[in-house]
């Protein structure tokens, strides 16, 4: 069973811990979330809302710090790639 726990992380960032899954599922969840935001009601108000998503999978040697650092690196990679995309 997949467990999804979102929360605010810093100024304009959010973090979600998705337990009991693998990279293909993580990528699918991230893409569905990106598409939902892009199709949000705000778009009809002439305000374009998009998100960039970075993700990483935990390894047995990870600390929370190393896991979040890798996910954060992927987030900035997505932003630098052109935004409104995901990098896992």
**Extents of the domains making up the chain:** 3-87
Of the residues 12, 31, 65, 77, only one is catalytic, namely 12
Domain 3-87 class in CATH: alpha beta
pLDDT at 43: 57
pLDDT of 66 higher than 90: yes
Distance, CA of 56 to CA of 73 (rounded, Å): 9
Alpha helix (H) residue ranges in the chain:
23-38, 64-81
* Mean pLDDT over each residue of the chain, to the nearest integer: 84
pLDDT of 87 higher than 60: yes
Residue closest to 81 by CA, chosen among 58, 50, 59 = 50
Place of tokens 């009601």: 41
Residue 12 annotated in active site: yes
pTM of the model: 0.80
């Amino acid at each position: 069973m997949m467990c999804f726990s979102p929360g605010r992380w810093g100024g304009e960032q959010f973090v979600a811990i998705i337990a009991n899954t693998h990279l293909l599922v993580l990528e699918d969840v991230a893409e569905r979330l990106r598409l939902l935001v892009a199709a949000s009601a705000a778009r009809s108000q002439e305000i374009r809302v998009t998100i960039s998503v970075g993700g990483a999978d935990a390894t047995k040697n990870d600390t929370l710090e190393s896991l979040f650092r890798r996910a954060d690196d992927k987030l900035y990679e997505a932003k630098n790639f052109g935004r409104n995309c995901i990098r896992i």
